[in-house]
Structure 1
């Protein structure tokens, strides 16, 4: 019985890490052996280059040398890795420890000397080989929360002698883990304007369901329920994650393989990569779905990312199927060799929507061909309303009679299924709709190399409409298709049709015609040359590396409420698209020579908060780098930074041993602290410090004892917009 209990206890704790005895690296800390983030997971415009070790909110747990070597670099900054330490091992590999609270006493003394010599609190210092030797197991520092993070943890990396990050869990440490990855959704992505997925020219998402046997939720087999119709060139995307025993977190996976008809089409494994390829993360992950759905899909095809080390070079760059049925298999493996297999069926053909004749006097619907696989649902005129099954009778093979529906359930959805393939839905209004009530909004989005324009109706109208793109004597007329109940869509439009276009119009097939117009200010930017585009006081500037492909960039003003604590200098502008990630960056520049103070802010729509991005200089200019579109505004504010909780306390008396440090909190709500502006002087001598934004904490160690008597501490801080706070306090040493 005791033996069984021990075995059970071991399984419960099996997510804990164990060192691989063949390599004999020590675990880097005594804080815990629990991981919160794995190698290769998503970060903003980069891959996660290591693993994060959980500290359970604690600060001060020990960090050890995993093997003997020498300290090769000390880097300190208020953002990024915070206080970081680089240890070059005797085997040539490089270890990075990040977000350190404090180094050991020897390194802290060295840091103080370096700061004094460089006259800077920030450091990026490289040491000579064997200048500072350490031995395996030696204490290097303490876990903390310095730099850019959302809570205390140890970030730990292993890099090869060339400086390329290596997955620590595939070569150096292992986990006893029994849980398989989880498959969630499959995305089918149109790569051509001749591509249709279940009759629609847009992204389509399909649920993936586990095959549960004997109530075991740790499933190996997953399946896609319906056959999927795809014609034209397409790519696949997979939403998946891993789980680890007894851990509350979702993790990234290690490997994905795609097969169609038993032929390998794609393979990726997160083993090792080069930092130069970080910008390719949004070619590996689908940026459109990340922005539109807040969901992470791995793209299972090459798309301007062939140089990314993770991906097999023989992978597909787009798939086109013949009219037959095709078997789809996707294998997913985690870092600990647990695996799943996803199966589905694709057909390179289409099921057309049934032709419908509607008699609105007698609530009769007649189809043009014999079909017993029609499905009917009733809903309201509003998007995402509940669906109910209507009461109807089938009078013959093509004729259906419906009971008069009760409002508000007055919209009928009809679709057809043939051999497991679903057609595009058709929508009918049981009651007449006043065309003067039609209202909606334009949406322009980049889908890979094409543009899609949607008109989103506030209420389902039931009327057909056309899109007209006009400008400089040109007029492009495009029939709109109803892609969902409330969305009329252009489908994928080639970029060259937007050359010199300055207006979009929606014209409804009503009597009289109902027309909606929207001005369009934009330009096609080449991916091969520098270019620019001006809009009032703003200018967009591209370089030769800004785009993966030619892109249409547009700007328009919008009426967006600005919080009362800000002074609005410009109207908010929306830069589109925000559904593609730029290869490098474009520059957003603002110039107003009458302006002496203010900054460029970007709206975080999820948090409904304006985020400072760049300061107006003395010439009335500001510029920032953009990696995608968004909402921007020139704002100012006059709230000064707050300094509080100062130690030593003002006008207080201390014994000399009681004052070995200075610390206080600094806060600025609207534009954050300008790190480079911080100045601390004690008795007219500069004090160098650690700034920890996560805790709004500034602290400095005093390495020399203070003289008895009065001491004067002066603090000066600016926020990023230029508001300044000065503090002067006196305290006394007995």
Structure 2
């Protein structure tokens, strides 16, 4: 009992140590109403990770938005798209807070913006005030909430960025909503990853069923498998005050108790966010509208959210006739936890459903640029255009090229 408690303490303490450099008393909530999230940091969106918190405004616009900390207005952007009317405040410790989808700015800032718009003869404008022009104290009124830009309903988009303009998880700084709900697991998929791999006598990916146990954990159906495998999970988080499908904070996987992968949504850079399409099973999302994230790291996936990996998170099952346990532990930022266990019988069997790859004359390599002549057409594919190597299905007519 003592050993188990000590292990749990050390694991939790490791998470606290990782967050020890994040101040807990610098930033305040930017709205004066109870905090309820419509969206959270790291949420899986179309082609990108969500870079902030979407805070509900009780279906209203015009709520007072206050400076989360003291500093100066360093950037103002007014656009028909994106964040709409947005405000950026730089703080003495190097962090920047971002406030998006605003209806209008506080009077002094609004007057500053209107003057610049008239001079530029443009509604859309981007401004970078000097540090001494628009200074604010913590709690000062800086804007009013709205629904401008690419917003699907009234809310405030709020971010905290580090000195290198990388979005950070604002919940780590104490901007949180009441949350006593465990993360939800919606989908579980297993992938044979090599010619030698098989799951239930098949070389194709399979969706697995799972059920909730009396102790609150989830148990998946037992599989018979051999060779290198990968798993993927579809998961969301929800807080007490809303049923929005929000993003999770941490995922940890283990094989027979040994950690194989750790994912942590603490921060990322805008330069890497489009690699979300590499992390998820994009084909499944396009075909089934199921967004599952792979718990193994494929080539051309440089995401910094992977904090630990052993063998890229790939499970290599070679001890024919033995058994294994693969587990997935999912946490939100307030340490609510959901655990899923997959029992595995390691068994090399006759493959009844082989994966026979369709070949064509047009084989593209992800790490090399190539030219193809197709009829009267010439097709150039640059280095890095694809994540993987593929046989392309290409046909040409006089007026059209089909790829």
Q: Normalising TM by the smaller chain, what interval? A: 0.7 to 0.9
Alignment of 1:266-285 (within 5 A): 266-285=261-280
Q: Is 1:183 matched up with 2:185?
A: yes
2:83 alignment partner, SS class: coil
Q: Is 1:233 matched up with 2:97?
A: no
Q: Which residue of 1 aligns with 2:309?
A: 314
1:503-549 Cα distance to aligned partner (Å, 9 max, x none): xxxxxxxxxxxxxxxxxxxx322323334557789875432221222
* Alpha-carbon distance in 2 for matches of 1:133, 1:533: 58
1:247-268 Cα distance to aligned partner (Å, 9 max, x none): 2222221111111011111110
* Alpha-carbon distance in 1 for matches of 2:61, 2:376: 47
1:292 alignment partner, SS class: helix
Select the residue among 332, 335, 357 that pairs with 1:334: 332
Residues 106 and 141 of structure 2 are in contact (CA less than 8 Å); yes or no, is this contact kept in structure 1? yes
Select the residue among 520, 527, 540 that pairs with 2:366: 527
Deviation at residue 319 of structure 1 after TM alignment: 2.4
Deviation at residue 189 of structure 1 after TM alignment: 1.2
Q: Would the alpha carbon gap of residues 492 and 64 (structure 1) be closer, same or farther in structure 2, given more than 3 Å must change?
A: farther
Structure 2: any 5+ residue segments left out of the alignment?
1-21
Q: Would the alpha carbon gap of residues 232 and 26 (structure 1) be closer, same or farther in structure 2, given more than 3 Å must change?
A: same
Residues 84 and 102 of structure 2 are in contact (CA less than 8 Å); yes or no, is this contact kept in structure 1? yes
Select the residue among 215, 222, 227 that pairs with 2:218: 222
Q: Which residue of 2 aligns with 1:295?
A: 290
Alignment of 1:92-111 (within 5 A): 92-111=94-113
Alignment of 1:497-576 (within 5 A): 497-498=359-360, 500=361, 523-532=362-371, 541-555=380-394, 575=403
Select the residue among 101, 126, 129 that pairs with 1:127: 129
* Alpha-carbon distance in 2 for matches of 1:269, 1:530: 34
1:450-487 Cα distance to aligned partner (Å, 9 max, x none): xxxxxxxxxxxxxxxxxxxxxxxxxxxxxxx5xxxxxx
Select the residue among 336, 340, 355 that pairs with 1:491: 355
Residues 28 and 175 of structure 2 are in contact (CA less than 8 Å); yes or no, is this contact kept in structure 1? no
1:71 alignment partner, SS class: strand
1:331 alignment partner, SS class: strand
Q: Which residue of 2 aligns with 1:602?
A: none
Select the residue among 162, 172, 175 that pairs with 2:174: 172
Residues 302 and 315 of structure 1 are in contact (CA less than 8 Å); yes or no, is this contact kept in structure 2? no
Structure with more helix by fraction: 2
Q: Which residue of 2 aligns with 1:465?
A: none
Structure 1: any 5+ residue segments left out of the alignment?
1-19, 214-218, 354-423, 425-480, 482-489, 501-522, 559-569, 576-734
Select the residue among 256, 259, 262 that pairs with 2:254: 259
Residues 32 and 53 of structure 1 are in contact (CA less than 8 Å); yes or no, is this contact kept in structure 2? no
Residues 321 and 347 of structure 1 are in contact (CA less than 8 Å); yes or no, is this contact kept in structure 2? no
Select the residue among 344, 347, 350 that pairs with 2:345: 347
Q: Would the alpha carbon gap of residues 340 and 528 (structure 1) be closer, same or farther in structure 2, given more than 3 Å must change?
A: closer
* Alpha-carbon distance in 1 for matches of 2:253, 2:142: 44
Deviation at residue 297 of structure 1 after TM alignment: 1.4
* Alpha-carbon distance in 2 for matches of 1:492, 1:23: 58
* Alpha-carbon distance in 2 for matches of 1:539, 1:46: 32
Q: Which residue of 2 aligns with 1:80?
A: 82
Select the residue among 151, 154, 163 that pairs with 1:152: 154
* Pairs aligned (count): 378
Q: Would the alpha carbon gap of residues 533 and 62 (structure 1) be closer, same or farther in structure 2, given more than 3 Å must change?
A: farther
1:295 alignment partner, SS class: coil
1:235 alignment partner, SS class: strand
* Alpha-carbon distance in 1 for matches of 2:374, 2:123: 41
Q: State the structure with bigger RCO (CA 8 A, min sep 6), 1 or 2.
A: 2
Deviation at residue 106 of structure 1 after TM alignment: 1.8
Deviation at residue 81 of structure 1 after TM alignment: 1.4
1:614-650 Cα distance to aligned partner (Å, 9 max, x none): xxxxxxxxxxxxxxxxxxxxxxxxxxxxxxxxxxxxx
Residues 67 and 89 of structure 1 are in contact (CA less than 8 Å); yes or no, is this contact kept in structure 2? yes
Q: Which residue of 2 aligns with 1:45?
A: 47
* Alpha-carbon distance in 1 for matches of 2:336, 2:402: 45
CA RMSD of aligned residues (A): 2.7
* Alpha-carbon distance in 2 for matches of 1:278, 1:134: 31
Deviation at residue 491 of structure 1 after TM alignment: 1.4
Q: Which residue of 2 aligns with 1:561?
A: none
Q: Would the alpha carbon gap of residues 541 and 80 (structure 1) be closer, same or farther in structure 2, given more than 3 Å must change?
A: farther
* Alpha-carbon distance in 1 for matches of 2:228, 2:24: 47
Select the residue among 202, 209, 212 that pairs with 1:207: 209
Q: Which residue of 2 aligns with 1:27?
A: 29
* Alpha-carbon distance in 1 for matches of 2:367, 2:23: 51
1:382-424 Cα distance to aligned partner (Å, 9 max, x none): xxxxxxxxxxxxxxxxxxxxxxxxxxxxxxxxxxxxxxxxxx6
Q: Would the alpha carbon gap of residues 147 and 201 (structure 1) be closer, same or farther in structure 2, given more than 3 Å must change?
A: same
* Alpha-carbon distance in 2 for matches of 1:533, 1:145: 47
Q: Would the alpha carbon gap of residues 345 and 28 (structure 1) be closer, same or farther in structure 2, given more than 3 Å must change?
A: same
Alignment of 1:410-425 (within 5 A): none
Deviation at residue 289 of structure 1 after TM alignment: 2.0
* Alpha-carbon distance in 1 for matches of 2:374, 2:144: 51
Q: Would the alpha carbon gap of residues 208 and 184 (structure 1) be closer, same or farther in structure 2, given more than 3 Å must change?
A: farther
Deviation at residue 343 of structure 1 after TM alignment: 1.5
